[in-house]
Structure 1
Amino acid sequence: MAEEKLTGTQRAAIVLLSLGEAQAAEVLKHMNAKEVQKLGLAMTSVGSVSREHVAEIFDEFIDVLSQPFSIGADADDYIREVLMQALGEDRANGLIDRILMGRNTSGLDSLKWMEPRAIAELVRNEHPQIIAIVLAHLDVDHAAEVLKCFPERGRVDILLRLSTLDGIPPNALNELNDVLARQFAGSANMKSSSIGGVKVAANILNFMDSGQDEKILTSMSEVDGALSTKIRDLMFVFDNLADIDDRAMQMVLRDIPNDKLAIALRGADQKVKDKILGNMSQRAAENLKDDIEARGPVRLADVEAAQKEILALVRKMADAGTISLAAKAEAFV
């Protein structure tokens, strides 16, 4: 590990590991759930690092801290400018609002630490519009788990409302604060924010179990066919793997075991098979074909589970910026 170029997360993990348990715990208290999870994973995977390399990392850390800068001066404008340049206007807008609003939404942030079923129980008796706002503030995989806890009819109503969220009026946010105040000490002065919409709805459905997403979309189409079609067009499914570029596919294939591929490709579209096999060495492709043929019949549930696992990896890599996906997948990149 010491000879490799470490990522920023890995360097941060090494700093925390060097601080000791009490000091590291104090630092982690100031981070959100996703950041803690990301750092925790890095802390378990950095392996052996030489004393000299640790010293280099601390020298770099101290050098950064010693640079003169004015904390808080025009911070909002700085955040907006950096994110716009890094992500582009479309992807950055929602994130900017969420970051800037997050300073006054400790109650919403607290939800990210709760189990999905606990969140569902907390808001089960609230208006579907309130539930939609809560889901819009969660990470999409977390929101999908919460949505699964509601009956089918409730899921459709919630997702319809989430899909049409454009801006949150103050009265809706005040109502949401009242809900969270019963569990957390939430602020009553939250700013309006642009969250939700068809992209968020598509992302959440991407993380639903196979079959559940289709049932929800079918029910939604009976209420609003055009909206259902927009969501469906933005969803990234297994067949869409044929649309990603070769470089991205090669990076994905590095992290997928052959046995998982062999199961996932049973019954897959031929374009997907060609895409995957075309980005493997000839020997690896032949081995995969042999593995598929040798397995015989495979349960549909196993095929769908393998495909979901691969899609989860693709989304994770896309979220991390490791790969970029085709226009079809812009919903969650």
Structure 2
Amino acid sequence: MAEKKEDAPSGSNLSKVDQAAILLMSLGEQDAAEVLKHMGPKEVQRIGGAMSTLANVQQRDVQEVMQNFLEEARTLTGLGMGADSYIRNMLVTALGEDKASSLVDRILLGGSTTGLDTLKWMEARSIADIIRNEHPQIQAIVIAYLDADQSAEVLTFFAEKVRIDIMMRVASLDTVQPSALQELNDILEKQFSGKAGSQTKAMGGYKVAAEIMNNLEGSVEAELMDSIKEIDEDMGNQIQDLMFVFDNLKEVDDRGIQMLLREVSSEVLIVALKGAESDLQEKIFKNMSKRAAELLRDDLEVKGPVRVSEVEAAQKEILTIARRMADAGEIVLGGSGEQML
């Protein structure tokens, strides 16, 4: 992960996220709000984080960003982007309370935010508190609706027994009837505005459960999986088969591995590979320059014993980066019978 920068990168060193941040910071608040409300929570959070770390942006960098944007825009026939924005806290950090407040208000008032959508603006603890006393099936629908990383964080605020029940219900979900969504929105819209849909919605299932499990901290994930298997071994195995684990990186194509390696620090990579199978290590080596591969081999050989928890944390960090890149369409994650994660 990149550290906070004192000065903005320049020229060709600008990442795509930095370029997007510079572009939006060059716009007025109203235009920036119009752009942001068409992005998903993760996209806006990443761009806002980049806004908060950029400083001393040179005029030539702004000109380069504008030029790149115009050239790329000419090649597009349309923009297919998601909805909702998870930006309140991020924009306060990036722009200050006053500017962020007006920007957030424009975004929220400009869309058709429902009770469920509004949850994506909230802290995980607050979401957990809102649904804590609701029926377990309602809790499962909320967990299945949120993004996997947000769902995983919400689950950490529940007792283990409740987590097990919720996850098994998520895995068993297929579609949700309008009446169930109406009930849920009625509950949420006591505090938020919006209206429920009128058609059944595909939600939950083994893959959603697997994605949530992927985002849980290692020990919590292991305990939860063991508990699910004790209750329903077949369900546990099906969820586990769909989970994207570190070893699945060997199924990513060479170009994807090369792009991923550019985003991972050498220190994290060394620790992560200490616990990797030899075939995955070799795949990593072959996608580096000869010199870099030799240095990495040497570092692995001289690296002393590493705690299992440290290896798991390093591998989790790399998988988080890989999933982020997959979400952005930069790489394709293969494995566990899925073409894309």
- What is the distance in 2 between the residues matched to 1:156 and 1:114? 23
Show the counterpart of 1:320: 328
Alignment of 1:60-79 (within 5 A): none
Q: Which residue identity is paired with 1:259?
A: E
Deviation at 1:327, TM superposition (A): 3.6
Q: Which residue identity is paired with 1:128?
A: P
Deviation at 1:173, TM superposition (A): 1.0
Deviations 1:137-171 (A, max 9, x none): 21111111111211111111111111121110122
2:131–2:139 CA contact under 8 A, matched in 1: yes
Say which of 125, 129, 132 aligns to 2:137.
129
Q: Which residue identity is paired with 1:321?
A: G
Deviations 1:109-137 (A, max 9, x none): 11111111111111011111111111122
Say which of 118, 121, 124 aligns to 1:116.
124
Three-state SS of the structure 2 residue aligned to 1:255 is coil
Show the counterpart of 1:194: 202
- What is the distance in 2 between the residues matched to 1:189 and 1:62? 34
Say which of 234, 238, 248 aligns to 1:240.
248
Q: Which residue identity is paired with 2:263?
A: D
Distance 1:308 1:227, change over 3 A: same
Deviation at 1:180, TM superposition (A): 0.7
Show the counterpart of 2:155: 147
2:333–2:340 CA contact under 8 A, matched in 1: no
Say which of 167, 172, 183 aligns to 1:164.
172
Show the counterpart of 1:205: 213
**Structure 2 stretches lacking a partner, 5+ long:** 1-8, 83-110
Distance 1:152 1:52, change over 3 A: closer
**Structure 1 stretches lacking a partner, 5+ long:** 70-77, 84-102
State whether structure 2 residue 273 is matched by structure 1 residue 277.
no
Q: Which residue identity is paired with 1:281?
A: S
Three-state SS of the structure 2 residue aligned to 1:328 is coil
State whether structure 2 residue 191 is matched by structure 1 residue 183.
yes
1:28–1:36 CA contact under 8 A, matched in 2: yes
1:206–1:213 CA contact under 8 A, matched in 2: yes
Say which of 233, 238, 259 aligns to 1:230.
238
Deviation at 1:310, TM superposition (A): 0.7
Q: Which residue identity is paired with 1:221?
A: K
Three-state SS of the structure 2 residue aligned to 1:17 is helix
Three-state SS of the structure 2 residue aligned to 1:212 is helix
Deviations 1:243-285 (A, max 9, x none): 2222211211112121111111223222222221222223222
Give structure 1 regions of 4+ aligned residues with deviation exceeding 4 angstroms. 1-15, 25-32, 41-47, 51-64
Distance 1:117 1:332, change over 3 A: farther
- What is the distance in 2 between the residues matched to 1:15 and 1:259? 32
Q: Which residue identity is paired with 1:227?
A: M
For the aligned residue pairs, the C-alpha RMSD in angstroms reads 3.5
State whether structure 2 residue 114 is matched by structure 1 residue 106.
yes
- What is the distance in 2 between the residues matched to 1:298 and 1:38? 31
Show the counterpart of 1:86: none
Q: Which residue identity is paired with 2:226?
A: T
Deviation at 1:29, TM superposition (A): 6.0
Q: Which residue identity is paired with 2:244?
A: F
Normalised by the length of structure 2, the TM-score is 0.75
Three-state SS of the structure 2 residue aligned to 1:179 is helix
Deviations 1:294-317 (A, max 9, x none): 331222222111111011111111
Write 1 or 2 for the structure with the bigger share of helix. Answer: 1
- What is the distance in 1 between the residues matched to 2:73 and 2:269? 45
Distance 1:163 1:192, change over 3 A: same
- What is the distance in 2 between the residues matched to 1:143 and 1:36? 18
Say which of 293, 308, 326 aligns to 2:301.
293
Number of aligned positions between the proteins: 301
Taking only the aligned residue pairs, the percentage that are identical comes to 49
Normalised by the length of structure 1, the TM-score is 0.77
Deviation at 1:213, TM superposition (A): 1.6
Deviation at 1:237, TM superposition (A): 0.8
